[in-house]
Amino acid sequence: MTQVLDSDLTTLLVQDKRQVAKDIWSFRLVHPEGQSLPAFKAGAHITVQTPAGQRRNYSLCNDPSETSFCEIAIKLEHNGRGGSRSMIEQVQAGQMLQASAPKKDFELLDPSHEVIFIAGGIGVTPLLSMARQMSKLQLAGGQGHFRFYYCARDAEGAAFMPELQALQNAGEVSFHFDGGNPDAGLDFWPLLEKPSQAHIYCCGPQGLMDAVKDMSGHWPQGRVHFESFGVNAAQHATNSPFQIKLSKSQTVLPVAEKESILEALRKAGHRVPSSCESGTCGSCKTALVAGQVEHRDFVLSDSDKCNHIMVCVSRASQANDLIEIDL
């Protein structure tokens, strides 16, 4: 399991920043001295230290064979905790950023397969990298073929449309805009009714992933792959301040409304392993000693929730409550 500690972050230069859709900006990052960046697999992400202090995971959206730069895209989360806003408003081309090496919780297993990509909103980013890789390999004589379905509210809010249209020589790309009406969403049943040899890769809002999950339950195991971070429902939940008590030192720390327990611990000099920071990977699992917790992760079983907490997303149930953790 990948663990992110301070020493895992390195410095990258923001070479370019551009708006790619309403509320979405892309950042091209390079090594400050022009060296190659670490190799990665399509679907990988990096963790970035934002100017607001939080760490955020962003999928790499460039072709993985390109190592002179990497590209991420960030959506402005109007109701978020400030991480995306600080990246978009405070980070400009020419500045340095602290970022981790690429990590792969989600990856294109075999680009020579038949693949169905289903993207929603900013969830397009890891799938764009995968489609770019398949397109390049196909131009070089590879066998893979893809169909790419990109769902968004409208064309204005759909990032990388020209880039996706440019991949049509290697696959089929279609766009579906629902105008913000969930009843007008793409009907996946005709696409998923009959399982084929294809692998499905899906990344987007929870509603879209739930719909694909519901309609692909009869597909063979291991053929349907989901990525959820970056579109984490927990970021949109209402937050209140509370306190944590560290049982070993008996120290009490405040956790502010716009802060996670993990961030409060880091600020106080405590190091806790983490990776996804969206409640999906399991790295930050911590023993819970006392207190009522609102569990917001996708990892813990019901029985685990009695005595553990994922400190990257979960919080006290009530404002100003105290929860005690085994640190």
Q: Are strands 171-177 and 145-152 parallel, antiparallel or unpaired?
A: parallel
C-beta of 312: minimal distance to ligand FES in Å?
3
Residues 127-166 that bind ligand FES (CB under 6 A): none
How far apart are the C-alpha atoms of 260 and 257, rounded to whole Å? 8
C-beta of 254: minimal distance to ligand FES in Å?
20
Q: Which of 84, 216, 239, 283 binds ligand FES (CB under 6 A)?
A: 283
SS3 label, residue 37: coil
Which residue has tokens 């609102």?
A: 294
Q: Binding string to ligand FES for residues 304 to 323, with x set by CB under 6 A, is what?
A: ------x-x-----------
Which one, 77 or 297, has the nearer CB to ligand FES? 297
Q: Which of 131, 281, 300, 316 binds ligand FES (CB under 6 A)?
A: 281
For residue 221, give both structure tokens: 């195991």
C-beta of 275: minimal distance to ligand FES in Å?
5
Q: Which of 43, 230, 279, 291 binds ligand FES (CB under 6 A)?
A: 279
Which one, 159 or 312, has the nearer CB to ligand FES? 312
Which one, 4 or 21, has the nearer CB to ligand FES? 4
- Does residue 244 interact with ligand FES by CB under 6 A? no
Q: Which helix or strand (DSSP H or E) is residue 149 part of?
A: strand 145-152
Which one, 133 or 235, has the nearer CB to ligand FES? 235
SS3 label, residue 131: helix
Which residue has tokens 């679907």?
A: 43
Nearest to 317 by CA among 290, 283, 298, 280: 290
C-beta of 272: minimal distance to ligand FES in Å?
8
User: Looking at this protein, which amino acid is placed at residue 170?
Assistant: A
Q: Which helix or strand (DSSP H or E) is residue 58 part of?
A: strand 55-59
Nearest to 161 by CA among 145, 178, 177, 179: 177
Q: Which residues of 195-228 are buried (b: 16+ CB within 10 A; e: fewer)?
A: eeebbbbbbbbeebbebbeebbeebeeebbbbbb
Which one, 119 or 284, has the nearer CB to ligand FES? 284
For residue 136, give both structure tokens: 């390049």
Q: Which of 23, 71, 227, 277 binds ligand FES (CB under 6 A)?
A: 277
Which one, 112 or 307, has the nearer CB to ligand FES? 307
Binding-site ranges for ligand FES (CB under 6 A): 274-277, 279-284, 297, 299, 310, 312
